[in-house]
Structure 1
Amino acid sequence: MQRIGVLTSGGDAPGMNSCIRAVVRKAIYHGMEVIGIKRGYSGFIDADMGPMNLGSVADIIHRGGTILHTARSQRFQTKEGRAQAMENVRRFGIQGLVVIGGDGSFTGASIFHQEHGIPVVGVPGTIDNDISGTDYTIGFDTALNNVVDAINKIRDTATSHERTFVIEVMGRNSGNIALAAGLAGGAESILVPEILFNIEDICHKLLSGHKRGKLHSIILVAEGAASGLTIGQQIKDLTGFDTKVTILGHLQRGGIPSAFDRILAARLGAKAVELLMAGDSGKMVGVRSGEVVASDLQEILGKPCPINDEMYQLAKILSI
C-alpha cells in the first residue's frame, strides 16, 4: 500500500488532531503517502482533499477540534454519492482509508467498503464513549474533565447561595458523560437516558438532605434523559428550593485534549495504519483492558453499549 486517505467525520472530539498526526507520521515513517480529506464524507465527494506531509501535522497535538474539519453528509448516504467518492479514490490514487468518527461514520465506511472494496479502518472518536468494541473513545476523557471542571465551579456558587443547581450535559442516547462526571463531581442525582427516573424520588432525596442540614445540591442531567430546564422547574415547584439551571452545551467538546486522549489517539491512529499495511480491512481499532485491539466493523455497528450499572449504583450510594 503506497497511499492512504484520512478523514474526520461526525461530531468533533478533542484528540482527533492527535490521531490525524499519528496516522500521517506513522504512514510517512513506513514510506507511504497520505491524502487529507476535508469536511468528512462531504469533502470525499467534492474532492476537497490534498497531500499531507510531516509539516502538515506539526504543532497540532495539543489542539482541540480537527484541522481536517468535519461534517455530516446526506449525499454519502446515497449510492450516487458514494460512487462519486469512489471516483475521487481513483483520481487521487487512494488505496486505503482511515475514518475517525463515531457509529454513523463507521456505518458509512462499512457500506463504502462493501460496495467498492476499498480497505477501511475506523478509529473511534466521539465524546459520548458509546462505541462497542472499545473501553474508551477519543475525546471522552477531555469532555469528562470539562464537565467536572464546570461542576467544581458551579458548586462554589451553589454553596455560597445555598441553591440547587441542575446541570445539563451532552448525551442524546448515552449517559456516559453524565454518569462519569456525576460520580467524579459528587452529584446528588444523575439522570441518564438508559435508566428511568422519578422526579418525586429526586425531590424527596433533596428534601431529606435539606432536613439534615444540606444547603446545596447538584443534579446532573444527560440531554437525552430530560431537559435541564424542565427538571429545574419541576424541582422548584415540588420543593420550593431556589433552583438554577446550567446547560453546558458545546463547551464540553472544546479545549486542550487531555494527556489520556492524546495517548489513546496516537496508539489507535498508528494501529489503524498498521492494519492497512497488513492488508486488513473492515475493522475498527479500540482499546480493551489497556491493550489496542481490532474488531470487525460489522460486529460493532449498532451494537448496544450499555451504561455501567455498577458505577451507577455506586454513584447513588455515595450521594446519600
Structure 2
Amino acid sequence: MRVGVLTGGRDCPGLNAVVRAVVRKGVQHYGDEFLGFVDGWRGPLDGDTVPLDIRAVRGTLPRGGTVLGTSRTHPLDHPDGVRRIRENLAEHDLDALITVGGRDTLGTAARLADEHGLPIVGVPKTIDNDLWGTDCTIGHDTAVGVATSAIDRLHTTAESHKRVLVVEVMGGDTGWIALRAGLAGGANVVLVPEQPFDVEQVCAWVTSRFRASYAPIVVVADGARPADGSMRLGGSGVRLSGVGEWLAREIEQRSGKEARTTVLGHLQRGGTPSPFDRWLATRFGLHAIDAVHDRDFGRTVALRGNDVIRIPIAEATSRVKRVSPELYAEAGVFFG
C-alpha cells in the first residue's frame, strides 16, 4: 500500500517517534511505501509532500518537534478543501492517510472520514491529555516532567527569599498538567479550569504555609479562573494565559506576602520526549499501520490500561476528558 502521514496542530514531543514506527513496520512488515505531508493539513490541501522511508526516519526517535512540520490549518474552512485533499491523495496514488493530532486535527479527520469517506486512521497527541477514550496522549508525560522539574527548582528559590512562587502551566480547558505536576512537585496549591477557585481561599492556604515556616508554590493552569469572575486581564475581559501574573498580584495585595510568577509556556511542548512518550508513540505508530492494513478507517488508536485499542475518531473528539471532582479532591489534602 501507499500511505500518507501528517502531523497537525501544535507540536509536542513524540511526534517523530510515531512517524518512525509507522514507516519502520510499514516497510519491513508490509512492504508499504510512504509519503509525508508537510505542515499538517496544509500538506494534503496544497499537495506539498516529502518522501518518507527508513533512512528518512532514522535517528528521529529522541527528537522533539516534527520532521514533517505542522500548522493550525483547517481544510474544511476552505470551500473546496475536501475536493483538493481528495484529488491530492489520488494524484499521489495513496491508499490511506495516517493523521497524528489533537482535538482540532482529529476532529477534521473524523469529518473527512465519516462524511466524505476518506481512508483515514488517527493517532492521538496533545500535551493537554484532553482527548476522550484514551488513558494518555502523546506528549503529555513529557510536559508533566518538564513542569515537575521546574517546580522542584523553584522550591529552593522560594525558600531562600521566603516568597510565594506562582507557576503557570498550559491547560486551557483541562488541568491534567497542573494536577499531575503539582502533586509530583509538592505544590501547596493547584488550580485547574474544571474547578473555579476562591482567591481568598488561595490566600488562606498561602498564609497557612508561611505559618509552617515554608514558602508556598502555587501551580495554576492557564485556563483556570476565579469563581467570582473578578479576573480582568489588560483591562478588557478574560483571555487565555496571564492568570499567573494576575494571581500573584492578588496574593501580594491580599496576604501581604511577596509573590512572583514563572510562566512555563512552550517549554512544556518542546525538546526531547520522555521514555514513556517514546514508548507510547512507538506503540501507537505500530498499531496505526496495522489499522490501515485492516482498512479500519475512521478510527484512532488509543491506550486503555496497557492495551492499544481502536475507537472511532469521532468518539475521541466528541467530548473533552476533564479532571474529575473526585480526582481533584485527592490533591486537596496537600493544599495549604
TM-score normalised by the chain length of structure 1:
0.96
8 Å contact from structure 1 (residues 45, 76) kept in 2:
no
Distance 1:209 1:58 in 2: 50
Distance 1:20 1:309 in 2: 36
1:61-140 pair list within 5 angstroms:
61-140=61-140
Q: 1:75 to 1:281 in 2, by over 3 A?
A: closer
CA offset digits 1:146-168 (Å, max 9, x no partner): 00111111111111111100011
The range that moved more, 117-126 or 138-147, is: 117-126
Identify the residue that residue 281 of structure 1 maps to in structure 2.
Answer: 297
CA offset digits 1:248-305 (Å, max 9, x no partner): 1101111110110001001011101101101111101011111101101222223131
Structure 2 regions of 5+ residues with no counterpart? 226-242
The range that moved more, 69-78 or 25-34, is: 69-78
Distance 2:221 2:261 in 1: 13
3-state DSSP of counterpart to 1:116: coil
8 Å contact from structure 2 (residues 125, 138) kept in 1:
yes
Corresponding position: 1:4 with 2:3: yes
Residue 115 of structure 1: CA displacement?
4.0
Distance 2:139 2:74 in 1: 24
Distance 1:138 1:121 in 2: 16
8 Å contact from structure 1 (residues 33, 51) kept in 2:
no
Aligned residues: 318
Identify the residue that residue 186 of structure 1 maps to in structure 2.
Answer: 186
3-state DSSP of counterpart to 1:73: coil
Q: 1:75 to 1:96 in 2, by over 3 A?
A: closer
CA offset digits 1:20-45 (Å, max 9, x no partner): 10111111121111111110001111
8 Å contact from structure 1 (residues 163, 243) kept in 2:
yes
Corresponding position: 1:304 with 2:320: yes
1:167-206 pair list within 5 angstroms:
167-206=167-206
8 Å contact from structure 2 (residues 192, 221) kept in 1:
yes
Q: Which runs of 4+ in 1 moved over 4 A?
A: none
Q: 2:277 aligns with which of 230, 249, 261?
A: 261
Distance 1:106 1:280 in 2: 15
Corresponding position: 1:315 with 2:314: no
Corresponding position: 1:250 with 2:266: yes
3-state DSSP of counterpart to 1:224: coil
Residue 75 of structure 1: CA displacement?
3.9
Identify the residue that residue 221 of structure 1 maps to in structure 2.
Answer: 220
8 Å contact from structure 1 (residues 132, 300) kept in 2:
yes
Distance 2:77 2:113 in 1: 13
Percent pairwise identity: 40
8 Å contact from structure 1 (residues 178, 191) kept in 2:
yes
CA offset digits 1:176-206 (Å, max 9, x no partner): 1001111111111111111111000010111
8 Å contact from structure 1 (residues 97, 121) kept in 2:
yes
3-state DSSP of counterpart to 2:80: helix
3-state DSSP of counterpart to 2:41: helix
3-state DSSP of counterpart to 2:260: strand
8 Å contact from structure 1 (residues 86, 116) kept in 2:
no
RMSD (Å) for aligned C-alpha atoms: 1.2
8 Å contact from structure 1 (residues 186, 319) kept in 2:
no
Distance 1:89 1:249 in 2: 36
Residue 77 of structure 1: CA displacement?
2.9
The range that moved more, 309-318 or 150-159, is: 309-318
8 Å contact from structure 1 (residues 5, 36) kept in 2:
yes
